[in-house]
Amino acid sequence: MASEPTISTDLIHTELTGENNPTSEDFEDLFNQFMLTNRHFVANLDLKSIDGIDLYGNVDIAEIRSCGRESTKCVRFTFACLWKHKLLYTKYCESPSQLEYFITKTLPTLKYNEYANELSSTEPSQELSQKLMKHLPKNENVVSLYDECCVCLESVKTKTSCGHHLCYKCESKIKNKNCPMCRARYEHSQEDCDEEDE
């Protein structure tokens, strides 16, 4: 029985830290190494945060299926927030060029989108919808899911377990996990509690 090939994610780390200038051939080699692994391969990415959000990242192998197409094996990147363990971003790379573009162009530009509670590349349509949300009137006829983060005053949906709005960026900076508004200790968000009740 053949042993599982070893994949070094050093190329990803050196690209992110700027220590090296990998070539397209380097990304093609890495992609081909991924394609030789079985579906149970998972590796942690040594990332602390993206755009101020404390998170953890993984890279693994996934199969995707589109309408009318056979399933395709691809490299999947996932990033989740440490606070709620909420998935903030997923990217599927089906080719070496997609892997290279994601690592060199997309990943360095990911920003936290408060309205969608996820990481995303900045796109003009998203910026316009966010501006629109900020200008919605607040009255009894129009009720938004969003309220101001009690620290930075950005509009967010996430709440502490004591019910105060707090964005992921501000939560990542709080070391003692006491609510900035009422000083109550929290472990998870209010959205988590609501989901468990359903």
Options 1.10.4160, 3.10.50, 3.30.40, 3.60.60; CATH of 136-197: 3.30.40
Phi-psi region at 18: left, alpha or beta (left = phi > 0; alpha = psi -120 to 50): left
CA–chain centroid gap for 182, Å, is 29
pLDDT tens-digit readout, 162-177: 888 888 888 888 878 7
- Residue 42, pLDDT > 70, answer yes
Strand ranges for the chain from DSSP E = 42-45, 49-50, 53-64, 72-81, 87-93, 111-113, 118-120, 147-148, 155-156
- Residue 195, pLDDT > 50, answer no
CA-based angle 94:105:54, to the nearest 5? 95
pLDDT at 78: 92
For the record, the structure tokens of 71 come out as 């399933």
pLDDT at 130: 58
Indicate the pLDDT class of residue 3, thresholds 50, 70 and 90.
very low
pLDDT tens-digit readout, 127-184: 565 566 666 666 666 666 677 888 888 777 788 888 888 888 888 888 787 888 888 8
Per-residue pLDDT, averaged over 73-98, amounts to 88
Read off the pTM: 0.63
pLDDT at 194: 42
pLDDT tens-digit readout, 44-70: 888 888 888 888 899 888 888 767 777
Parse the chain into domains and list their residue ranges. Answer: 10-120, 136-197
pLDDT at 4: 43
